[in-house]
Amino acid sequence: MQALHFLSNQPLLVEQAIHVVRTLQQAGFIAYFAGGCVRDALRQAPVKDIDIATSATPEEVAALFPAQSIGVGKSFGVMLVVLNGISYDVATFRTDGGYQDGRHPEFITYDTAEHDAQRRDFTVNALFYDPIAQSIIDYVGGVADLEAGVLRAIGTPRLRFQEDRLRLLRAIRFATVCNWKIDPQTWQALCDEAPHLMCVSIERIHVEFIRMLCEAEDPGEALHLLRISGLLQRFFPELVALHGCLQDPIWHPEGDVWQHTVKMLQRIPKKRDPELVWSVLLHDIGKPAALIVDRKPDGSPWHRTPNHASIGAQMAESILRRFKASNDAIERITTAVRYHMQFVEIQKMRQSSLRQMLGRPTIELELALHRLDCLSSHAKLDLYDYAREKLDAFAGEPVLPPPALTGKDLIALGYKPSPAFGRHLKKAYQAQLEGADRATLLVEALCQAPGHSNRAKRIAFVLNADGSIPLPKAWETRGEHPDWEVALIVVPGIYWNQPTPEGARVLRLVTDCAGKTDYPAAKTFDLLILDAAQAEPDLCNVATATLLV
C-alpha cells in the first residue's frame, strides 16, 4: 500500500473525487484516479484536476450520477461528472483504433485497465491510483521512470507519436516542466516525426508552446530542445532565424540574438505572463531582416540593426495572427515590440512626449520587457529607473488626462472638420501635456479660428484681476479681425450683475456651470470668454448655454 497526498487549492477536489471512485466501486466497477494527477502527486506537485478511469460504460456512469453527468465525450467513452461546480472526467477503460489524422482515433473499444494504460503516451502519465485501497497500479514502469527522472514513450515511441502528433510538443513540455531527461529512443522518434507536426492545428500548437515556456523550469532549455529536434522550424521559423544573428558585443556581451532572447526568458519569474513571454520572443524578431554589417574604425565588424523595432512590430503582428492570438493580445504585444527602443530617448523627451509614452495602456508590459532587455545585455537600468521615477511622480493624477480642448469646442469657435482640425486638436493636447490649461488652449484656438460668414460677430473678454486667460494676446489678435467686434469687459467686482437689455439674443455663451450662467449683460454678445474662476453654480440659470470653459 502507498497512500498518496494530493496537493490542491480546492479542498473539495480530492474529497469528491474519492466519492466518485467509491460510488463506482460499490456498484461493482473498477475505478481509479488516472494520469496526470497521479504523476503530480508522486512528484509532490499541486494537482489542478483529477481524472477517473473506470470499467463502467458512459451509460452506467450516467445511471450512477443522473443529475451530475454530462456526455461531453461519449464517443470516446468519457462522461463529465460535476459536483459542487468541480468537474471530473470519468473515462471508460479503452483501446484506440487507427489514427488517420495524426490526432484522433477512428474508433475506440472498451477494454481492461492494463490495455488502457498501454494506449497512453508516456509511462509517467499511465499510472492509476486506487484511493480506497490506497495503492498505485503501474502496468508500464511509470513509477521507476518518474523516480529516475526519465520521460519515456510507452511501447514503440514512433507509433505513439504517429498516433497523436501533439505528443511531440507534449514530450518537451513534460520534460522541461518536470525537469526530466527524455529517453534516447523516445528522443530519436521525436526528431524523426518532427516534420509531421503541422497536421496539428495551430491553435493547439500555440497552447502547448506558450504553456511550455510559461511553466518550464528552464524555458531556455525548452527552446533549445524545440530547435534541435526540428520542431521549432516547423511552426516558428522566424524565431529559429535569431540563432546565429550576431550583435555588437559592446551592448550585447551575452552573444547572438537567440542567446539574448533565451536569457530574457530565463529571467522572467515563475508563473510567467504569456504576453510578456510573447513580447520577449518577438521584441528582436526583426533583427535578422534589419542586420547590416559594417566596419568599425579598428577594422572589426560592426553589426547594426537599424529600424528593427518597427520591422519587428510588423512581423510580430503577422506571426501572432498566424498563431490565432486574440486581437487584444496582438495589439498589446506589437505595441511593446514597436516601442521597446523608445526608452533610449526617454531622458531627452519633452514633457508631452514623456507623458504620452508613460500613459500608454501597455506601459507596465513595456517596462517589464525593457528591464529584462537591459539585464540580459549591458545590465544598465538607469533608463528603467528614470521611467519608474517619472511614472511614480504621476501617481496622484492621470498620466494622460482627458483632452481639455475638444472637437466640439473647435466647432463652436468656427472650425470645420478637416485634416487641419485633427492636427489642431493633437497640437492642443501636446500643449496641455506641457502644462497649458483649458483657458489658454481656448484662447489659442480662438486666435487661430478661421472667419466664416455665419460666425458670431460680437465677442467679449471678461477681465478679472484673478483670471488666468492670457487676455492681451487674444484680445489684440481677435481685435484686428475686420469682421469681428471685440470688446474687453473689466469686471469691477468678482461677478458682473448688470441688467439684461430687452430682446438680446444668445448665439454662443461660454461658461462652465453645466450650461448655465447669470452674466446677464453677456446676452448682448455672441461669444463671451471668461475663465473657470469667474463661474459659480449659484449664479447659473441659462439652460441653453454652450459649455466651453
Q: Where are the domains of the chain?
A: 11-148, 166-393, 407-547
For the stretch 72-100, what's the b/e string if a residue is b when 16 or more beta carbons lie within 10 angstroms of its beta carbon?
A: eebeebbbbbebeeeebbbbbbbebeeee
Long-range contact set of residues 340-348: C-beta below 8 Å, sequence gap at least 24: 340/279, 340/283, 340/309, 340/366, 340/369, 340/370, 340/373, 341/308, 341/309, 343/370, 343/383, 343/384, 343/387, 344/383, 346/383, 346/386, 346/387, 346/390, 347/383, 347/386
The residue with greater pLDDT, 1 or 69, is 69
Mean pLDDT of the chain: 84
What's the chain's Rg over C-alpha atoms?
A: 35
Q: Which CATH architecture has domain 11-148?
A: 2-Layer Sandwich (3.30)
Instruction: State the cell numbers at 25.
Output: 466501486
How far is Cα 127 from Cα 36, in angstroms, rounded to an integer?
8
Count how many residues are written for the chain: 549
Instruction: State the cell numbers at 65.
Output: 450520477
* pLDDT average, residue stretch 99-120: 78
The residue with greater pLDDT, 458 or 396, is 396
Per DSSP (E only), the strands in 184-298 are: 292-295
The residue with greater pLDDT, 282 or 409, is 282
Residues 328-342: tens digit of each pLDDT: 999 999 999 999 999
Confidence of residue 404 (pLDDT cuts 50, 70, 90): confident
Q: Residue 123: helix, strand or coil by DSSP?
A: helix
Residues 257-299: tens digit of each pLDDT: 999 999 999 999 989 999 999 999 999 999 999 999 999 888 8
pLDDT at residue 415, rounded to an integer: 83
Residues 485-544: tens digit of each pLDDT: 666 555 444 443 444 444 333 223 333 333 343 444 444 555 656 544 444 332 222 222
Per-residue DSSP letters for 437-483?
Answer: -HHHHHHHHHHTPPP-TTS--EEEEEE-TT--S-HHHHHHHHHT-TT
Are domains 11-148 and 166-393 of this chain identical in fold? no
* pLDDT average, residue stretch 315-332: 98
Residue from 374, 384, 381, 387 nearest 251 by CA? 374
Q: Given its phi and psi angles, is residue 134 left (phi above 0), alpha (psi -120 to 50 degrees) or beta?
A: left
pLDDT at residue 461, rounded to an integer: 60
The two beta strands, 51-54 and 86-92, are parallel
pLDDT at residue 7, rounded to an integer: 87
Residue 548 pLDDT greater than 80, yes or no: no
How far is Cα 300 from Cα 295, in angstroms, rounded to an integer?
6
How far is Cα 11 from Cα 19, in angstroms, rounded to an integer?
13
φ/ψ of 332, rounded to 5, equals: -70, -45
The residue with greater pLDDT, 71 or 119, is 119
The residue with greater pLDDT, 105 or 510, is 105
HSE on the CB side for 325, CA within 13 Å? 22
Helix (H) or strand (E) holding 427: helix 419-433
Residues 137-158: tens digit of each pLDDT: 999 999 999 999 999 999 999 9
Residue 115 pLDDT greater than 90, yes or no: yes
Are 16 and 86 in contact, with CB atoms under 8 Å apart? yes
The residue with greater pLDDT, 2 or 526, is 2
Residue from 93, 155, 144, 147 nearest 122 by CA? 155
Are 410 and 426 in contact, with CB atoms under 8 Å apart? no
How many CB atoms sit inside 10 A of residue 29's CB?
18
Are 312 and 279 in contact, with CB atoms under 8 Å apart? no
How many CB atoms sit inside 10 A of residue 2's CB?
9
Which residues contact residue 246 at a Cβ distance below 8 angstroms, ignoring those fewer than 6 apart? Answer: 256, 291, 293, 301, 303
Which residues contact residue 220 at a Cβ distance below 8 angstroms, ignoring those fewer than 6 apart? Answer: 262, 263, 265, 266
Per-residue DSSP letters for 328-369?
Answer: HHHHHHHHHHHTTTGGGGGGG--HHHHHHHHTSTTHHHHHHH
How far is Cα 20 from Cα 33, in angstroms, rounded to an integer?
10
519-to-28, 235, 524, 545 alpha-carbon distances in Å: 91, 70, 10, 11
Name the DSSP class of 36: H
pLDDT at residue 414, rounded to an integer: 73
The two beta strands, 458-463 and 181-182, are unpaired
How far is Cα 346 from Cα 129, in angstroms, rounded to an integer?
58
Which residue is listed with cell 517596462?
A: 367
Residues 12-56: tens digit of each pLDDT: 999 999 999 999 999 999 999 999 999 999 999 999 999 999 999
* pLDDT average, residue stretch 57-74: 86
Residue from 372, 393, 371, 392 nearest 382 by CA? 371
Instruction: State the cell numbers at 454.
Output: 455665419
How far is Cα 511 from Cα 528, in angstroms, rounded to an integer?
8
The pTM of the full predicted model, rounded to 2 decimals, is 0.80
Residue 132 pLDDT greater than 70, yes or no: yes
* pLDDT average, residue stretch 86-112: 77
Residues 429-486: tens digit of each pLDDT: 888 888 888 767 877 787 677 655 454 456 666 555 445 444 445 555 555 555 666 6
Are 80 and 87 in contact, with CB atoms under 8 Å apart? yes
166-393: CATH class: mainly alpha
**76 bridge partner residues:** none
How many CB atoms sit inside 10 A of residue 349's CB?
15
Instruction: State the cell numbers at 230.
Output: 526540428
Residue 547 pLDDT greater than 80, yes or no: no
